[in-house]
């Protein structure tokens, strides 16, 4: 990570890099009008995003997204005026990627809330890629249960079909639902997306790039459908620490539910729980971060880097 941020300061970098202080001066000075209670409802376990960070960091992110959304709408209207197959109205899709425990879910929910407060009051839907994980039975059949969350553990064709349908303006597009309680797809749950103004698409590997192919057959990617891409970044030892602390917190809360897939870990001692979380991080999440997630970081339009205190301290914005 250090090499990226050093490179990002170079004159030839495609990114302009700001400190949190520099970024805060770009705000228009108007607070977000989000209450402390509202913010608490948006935060994931262990996340420390504050109201001041919302005003100093996220409001400017929201303004940039609004500018891109307006420009994209104008482009679609212009194309639709002379291209018969182009629809004048199509959802503006924002992708949010990053490691497990880095805080991307909080970022996604917070951005959703800020976008809802734009003057035109757009309808904003938030979808996570968890719903396109293969069911546990299928992961077991394929022998990749230990690689849950890796690119190959997702039904990518169905996910791509969803994005294509949404981007083309179709109504009532089905979204599979993942149960974190069951740690599996919930076949009885139903969710549909119907022509939102903005769709936020959040997941570990949503910015995956194309690999070399033996033929010239087009290989579609999720990112082909995105209008703006955000990567939530942090120094890996900090993410590992947040992951372990989150595991310890969940042991005292969600794991206590007798119906939880993780209930077997609810009675672990602090030492046992720390060892278990450390092993899960080292053997699964760190590998996925190194091999699949972090390499997609340069493909983002905006990179939000967090410090040890979970606060954003650096921002990299792709130059136009």
CATH number at residue 240: 3.40.50.300
Cβ contacts of 272 within 8 Å, gap of 6 or more: none
Question: pLDDT digits over 85-127, tens only?
Answer: 767 678 999 999 999 999 999 999 999 999 999 999 999 999 9
Reported as a pLDDT band with limits 50, 70 and 90, residue 285 is: very high
Say how far apart CA 16 and CA 319 lie, in whole Å.
Answer: 6
Question: pLDDT digits over 143-172, tens only?
Answer: 999 999 999 999 999 999 999 999 988 999
Average pLDDT over residues 210-226: 71
Q: What is the count of structural domains for the chain?
A: 1
pLDDT of residue 128: 96
Task: Give every strand in the sheet of 228-234, ordered side by side.
Answer: 15-19, 312-318, 302-306, 228-234, 92-98, 198-202, 124-128
Averaged pLDDT score across all residues of the chain: 90
Burial of 291 (0-12, 13-18, 19+ CB in 10 A): exposed
The pLDDT of residue 275 is above 90: yes
pLDDT of residue 9: 54
Contacts for 20-26: CB closer than 8 Å, 24+ residues apart: 20/56, 20/57, 20/311, 20/312, 20/313, 20/314, 20/315, 23/56, 23/57, 23/60, 23/315, 24/56, 24/57, 24/60, 26/60, 26/63
Report the range of poorest mean pLDDT among 81-95, 118-132, 220-234, 277-291: 81-95
Tokens encoding 113: 């809330």
Say how far apart CA 201 and CA 97 lie, in whole Å.
Answer: 9
pLDDT of residue 210: 65
pLDDT of residue 49: 86
Instruction: Please tell me which residue, 216 or 171, carries the higher pLDDT value.
Output: 171
| Dihedral class, residue 169 (left if φ above 0, else alpha if ψ from -120 to 50, else beta) | left
pLDDT of residue 1: 46
The pLDDT of residue 25 is above 50: yes
Say how far apart CA 146 and CA 284 lie, in whole Å.
Answer: 7
Tokens encoding 150: 């890796």
pLDDT of residue 216: 61
Say how far apart CA 278 and CA 25 lie, in whole Å.
Answer: 39
pLDDT of residue 212: 46
Average pLDDT over residues 27-43: 83
Question: pLDDT digits over 6-24, tens only?
Answer: 655 556 689 999 999 999 9
pTM flag (> 0.85): yes
Domain coverage including residue 146: 2-318
């Amino acid at each position: 990570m250090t090499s990226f941020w050093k490179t990002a300061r170079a004159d030839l970098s495609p990114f302009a890099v700001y400190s949190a202080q520099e970024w805060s001066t770009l705000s228009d000075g108007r607070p977000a009008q989000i209450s402390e209670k509202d913010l608490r409802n948006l935060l994931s376990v262990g996340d420390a995003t504050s109201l001041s960070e919302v005003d100093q960091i996220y409001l400017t992110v929201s303004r940039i997204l609004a500018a891109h959304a307006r420009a994209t709408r104008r482009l679609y209207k212009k194309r639709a005026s002379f291209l018969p197959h182009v629809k004048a109205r199509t959802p503006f899709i924002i992708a949010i990627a990053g490691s497990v425990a880095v805080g991307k879910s909080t970022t996604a929910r917070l951005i959703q809330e800020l976008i809802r407060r734009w003057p035109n009051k757009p309808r904003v839907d938030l979808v996570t890629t968890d719903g396109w994980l293969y069911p546990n039975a299928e992961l077991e059949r394929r022998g990749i249960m230990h690689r849950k969350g890796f690119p190959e553990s997702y039904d990518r064709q169905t996910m791509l079909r969803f994005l294509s349908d949404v981007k083309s303006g179709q109504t009532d597009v089905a979204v599979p639902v993942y149960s974190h309680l069951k740690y599996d797809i919930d076949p009885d749950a139903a969710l549909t997306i119907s022509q939102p103004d903005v769709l936020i698409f959040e997941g570990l590997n949503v910015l995956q790039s194309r690999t070399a192919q033996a033929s010239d057959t087009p290989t579609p990617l999720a990112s082909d459908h995105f209008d703006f891409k955000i990567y939530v970044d942090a120094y890996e030892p900090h993410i590992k620490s947040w992951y372990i602390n989150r595991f310890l917190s969940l042991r005292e809360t969600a794991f206590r539910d007798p119906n939880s897939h993780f209930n077997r870990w609810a009675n672990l001692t602090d030492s046992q729980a720390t060892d278990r979380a450390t092993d899960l991080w080292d053997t699964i999440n760190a590998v996925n971060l190194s091999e699949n997630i972090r390499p997609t970081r340069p493909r983002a339009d905006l990179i939000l880097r967090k410090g040890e205190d979970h606060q954003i301290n650096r921002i990299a914005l792709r130059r136009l």
